[in-house]
Amino acid sequence: MLRKRSPLIICGAFIFVAWNVILFFVLMRRPSTQGALDSPDELGNKGDRAGGDQFGNIMNEVMRVANAFEAEIESQKKILLQIQSHWSVWENKGGVTAAKSKSQAEHSAPVVIPILVIACNRVTVKRCLDKLIEHRPSAELYPIVVSQDCGHAETSDVIASYGSQLTYIKQPDLSDISVPPQHKKFQGYYKISRHYRWAFNQVFNTFSYSSVVVVEDDLEVAPDFFEYFRALHPILKSDPTLWCVSAWNDNGREGFVDPGKASLLYRTDFFPGLGWMFTKDLWAEIEPKWPASFWDDWMRQPSQRRDRSCIRPEISRTLTFGRKGVSLGQFYDKYLRFIKLNTEFVPFTKMDLSYLEKKKYDESFEKEVYSASVVTVEDLQSGKLTGSGPFRVQYSSPDSFKTLARNLGVMDDLKSGVPRAGYRGVVPFLFRGKRVYLAPPAGWSQYDPSWS
């Protein structure tokens, strides 16, 4: 009933205001009663009293009008209070929400961050989906979209079993792709790249989301996975020096991360993938030149990265359990299966993350790295160094980097000159309980793409 009566309430308020304006002018312009009854002759006889009585009459009339106006205002005030009371009830019932402008509603409403799960022929996608649904705080704010390639029936059955808990889409083109003869064994990488392109276009252009978190079907997520991306979403949107947020630390193996610093976040120049968020604006930039294959290494090239960084955690918010795939288990047995998955819920949305702003971060990061004592691998391995660090191990060439990285147990490959988990050439990690920075000499200026 309140919704139907709301136009009457608004109309009543309008009439109230208009009535008081008219009343005010009528009362102020109305002549006195005595002046209206006097004849011209009488007015002439009273000329000698004009100097005093006329002024007194005017003052009396002004006072009378003022009193009448005050009484009328008091009466109308009561009516206005009744209108205000009805308006408040209607507002609390939700009537005003419908009247808000679109921009106000969008500004106040929480951002929807969809999770895109890329699937193919792993029935173990169930493990991935179960954890996403278990830790998801809101189905409305974090809709899950599963995009399947390959046409694998058993995997399709698993995905379909979740019903309305997710949106299930299928990549329609399952044909083989014509590839160069030397890439025949890499046919799978071409199909993956085709699938990603199609799925991203679905998320951004068909479903019209403004950002997305991409999860492969062999990833398990941490309890604060959603909290992590929720907190970093506004930073990604507002900082042009960033182009992604990743849940992954390439050197996040047990013993190489500080378990007491689950809230610690870094900027990194290396595109990590493996649970990552990016925006529709970035997709509009890179979609026209999307590669036919090896899309992740393509993302790591200078022409795509354009000196932008990603945010990544000290302790990973994703864990990969997919040993078998197109990469044939590359790095899995040596590194990936030992990645530590965070188990402590960190309330990132309640934390001050302004330290991640480039200017603040660079000043603090460079100061800590280059004020650290320079040591050798032998110094670290001997166990004779006192304190928890930080310590700096310096490299000067791609060969020296790879040798030192292998000896220290961190990943030794470079992509377009950028080391995994590196920022400004520096790779942070823990070694036997001590903070270590594997770093180039002071004065580093840019990456050399030939270091690969």
186 dihedral zone (left: phi>0; alpha: psi -120 to 50; beta): alpha
What sign does the dihedral 259-265-270-271 (CA atoms) show?
positive
Q: Looking at the structure, tell me whether residues 232 and 125 fall in a common domain.
A: yes
Q: Looking at the structure, tell me whether residues 148 and 273 fall in a common domain.
A: yes
Q: Looking at the structure, tell me whether residues 160 and 42 fall in a common domain.
A: no
Q: Looking at the structure, tell me whether residues 158 and 274 fall in a common domain.
A: yes
* Total domain count, the chain: 3
pLDDT tens column, 17-75:
455 545 444 444 444 444 433 444 443 444 444 445 554 555 555 456 555 555 555 55
Q: Looking at the structure, tell me whether residues 163 and 268 fall in a common domain.
A: yes
Mean pLDDT check: name the lowest of 76-85, 120-129, 167-176, 244-253.
76-85
Q: Looking at the structure, tell me whether residues 80 and 120 fall in a common domain.
A: no
Q: Is the peptide bond before 390 cis (omega within 30 degrees of 0)?
A: yes
Q: For the chain, what percent of residues have pLDDT higher than 90?
A: 72
Contact 215, 318 (CB under 8 A): yes
Q: Looking at the structure, tell me whether residues 319 and 383 fall in a common domain.
A: no
In a domain, 39, yes or no: yes
In a domain, 228, yes or no: yes
pLDDT the model gives residue 329: 60
Contact 228, 236 (CB under 8 A): no
List of E strands, 120-197: 144-148, 167-170
Burial of 32 from C-beta contacts in 10 A (0-12 / 13-18 / 19+): middle
CATH classification at residue 440: 3.10.180.20
Give me the domain span that covers residue 147.
110-356
CA distance 147 to 116: 7
pLDDT the model gives residue 60: 58
Q: Which of 105, 124, 159 is where one domain is finished?
A: 105
Which positions are catalytic?
296
pLDDT tens column, 215-272:
999 999 999 999 999 999 999 999 999 999 999 999 999 999 999 999 999 999 999 9
pLDDT the model gives residue 6: 44
CA distance 307 to 309: 7
Residue 335 — pLDDT band, cuts 50, 70, 90? confident
In a domain, 361, yes or no: no
The mean per-residue pLDDT over the stretch 424-431 comes to 98
In a domain, 419, yes or no: yes
pLDDT tens column, 101-159:
444 444 568 999 999 999 999 999 999 999 999 999 999 999 999 999 999 999 999 99
Q: Which of 51, 85, 105 is where one domain is finished?
A: 105
For 405, other C-beta atoms within 10 Å of its C-beta total: 23
In a domain, 362, yes or no: no
pLDDT the model gives residue 337: 86
Q: Looking at the structure, tell me whether residues 46 and 82 fall in a common domain.
A: yes
Six token digits for residue 223? 């309890």
The mean per-residue pLDDT over the stretch 305-325 comes to 91
CATH classification at residue 250: 3.90.550.10
In a domain, 363, yes or no: no
Give me the residues paired with residue 211 across strands: 279
Alpha carbon separation from 197 to 31, 150, 288 (Å, rounded): 82, 15, 10
Q: Looking at the structure, tell me whether residues 88 and 194 fall in a common domain.
A: no
Q: Looking at the structure, tell me whether residues 130 and 256 fall in a common domain.
A: yes
Alpha carbon separation from 226 to 151, 166, 265, 320, 427 (Å, rounded): 29, 16, 15, 17, 26
Q: Which of 330, 356, 382 is where one domain is finished?
A: 356
Q: Looking at the structure, tell me whether residues 71 and 137 fall in a common domain.
A: no
CA distance 199 to 219: 18
Residue 9 — pLDDT band, cuts 50, 70, 90? very low
Contact 416, 302 (CB under 8 A): yes
CA distance 57 to 68: 16
The mean of the pLDDT values for the chain is 84
Q: Looking at the structure, tell me whether residues 413 and 317 fall in a common domain.
A: no
**369-399: b or e for each residue (b if 16 or more CB lie within 10 Å)?**
bbebeebebeebeeeebeeebebbbbbeebe
Helix and strand counts by DSSP (H, E) for the chain: 16, 16
CA distance 196 to 189: 11
In a domain, 6, yes or no: yes
Residue 333 — pLDDT band, cuts 50, 70, 90? confident
pLDDT tens column, 279-300:
999 999 999 999 999 999 999 9
* Radius of gyration in angstroms for the set of CA atoms belonging to the chain, rounded to a whole number: 36
In a domain, 218, yes or no: yes
